[in-house]
């Protein structure tokens, strides 16, 4: 019998699929060098604080290329819940660069902002316009990640790990594309409008429906 998954834990098969999808994308749109990104327990404790604030990780690029490639890096800040909604607001400091030994960049916030802007220029396809897949990066790669309390609490407080690695995968879900005209071939002419505002099931399902039994 398979062990029950912890809250926010990915099934191994799903994790492997996401990793495989990422490897596929490295041949198409992801042309960055990727070094290890590590969140240390000491950094987590500082950012979470007594209220166990959430941690937000921003993606950035090193200012100079590593060989022929730009190198991905990441920064972590503390984020607190604003009011009673679902909006989390960042504290500007402290901010840590998530290298193997986390570095406090609180006195170098301009460097952090410049690094994030460089990544976003890459994400928008402006940094290297002629690179394969540059124009679709913004649909695949996010700017940042807001981590949940539960996964970090599990890793650092329950399991007492001293560090956690941040790696990346790509999920794939088949989406419905709604055309303004019936298509006769696979290509989409420029004058045809395409819409996509569908909510896939799962997770948006009517469990009571006879069609979902």
CB atoms within 10 A of CB 90: 16
* Per-chain mean pLDDT for the chain: 88
Between 82 and 102, the more confident residue is 102
In angstroms, the CA 137 to CA 135 distance is: 6
DSSP 3-17: PPPPTTPPPHHHHHH
Burial of 73 (0-12, 13-18, 19+ CB in 10 A): buried
Cα of first residue to Cα of last residue in the chain, in angstroms, is 25
The model's pTM is: 0.87
Range 33-69 burial, b when 16+ CB lie within 10 A, else e: eeeebbbbbebbeebbeeeebbbbbbbbbbeeeeeee
Domains of the chain, by residue range, sit at: 12-171
Cβ neighbours of residue 203 under 8 Å, at least 6 residues apart?
A: none
Average pLDDT over residues 174-199: 70
The answer to whether 62 and 74 have CB atoms below 8 angstroms apart is no
| pLDDT per residue as tens digits for the range 146-183 | 998 889 999 999 999 999 999 999 998 888 888 877 76
Closest by alpha carbon to 203, among 194, 190, 212? 212
Determine the Cα–Cα distance for residues 67 and 73; give it in Å rounded to an integer.
16
Question: For a pLDDT cut of 90, what percent of the chain falls above it?
Answer: 67
The per-residue pLDDT for range 97-147, each reduced to its tens digit, is 999 999 999 999 999 999 999 999 999 999 999 999 999 999 999 999 999
Q: Please report the DSSP string for 134-147 in residue order.
A: GGGGGGT--SEEE-
Task: For residue 112, give the H/E element and its range.
Answer: helix 109-123
**pLDDT band, residue 206 (cuts 50/70/90):** low
């Amino acid at each position: 019998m398979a062990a029950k998954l912890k809250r926010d834990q990915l099934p191994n098969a799903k994790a492997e699929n996401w990793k495989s999808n990422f490897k596929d994308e490295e041949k198409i749109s992801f042309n960055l060098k990727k070094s290890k990104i590590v969140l240390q327990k000491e950094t987590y404790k500082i950012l979470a604080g007594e209220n166990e604030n959430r941690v937000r990780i921003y993606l950035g690029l090193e200012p100079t290329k590593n060989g022929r490639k730009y190198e991905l890096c990441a920064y972590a800040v503390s984020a607190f819940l604003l009011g009673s909604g679902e909006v989390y607001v960042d504290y500007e400091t402290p901010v840590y660069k998530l290298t193997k030994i986390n570095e406090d960049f609180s006195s170098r916030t301009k460097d952090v902002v410049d690094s994030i802007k460089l990544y976003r220029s890459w994400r928008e396809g402006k940094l290297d316009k002629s690179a394969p897949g540059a124009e679709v990066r913004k649909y695949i790669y996010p700017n940042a990640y807001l981590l949940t309390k539960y996964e970090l609490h599990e890793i650092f407080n329950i399991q007492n790990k001293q560090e956690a690695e941040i790696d990346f995968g790509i999920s794939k879900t088949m989406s419905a594309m709604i055309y303004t005209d019936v298509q006769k071939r696979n290509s989409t002419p420029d004058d045809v409008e395409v819409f996509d505002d569908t909510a896939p099931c799962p997770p948006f399902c009517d469990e009571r429906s006879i069609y979902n039994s």
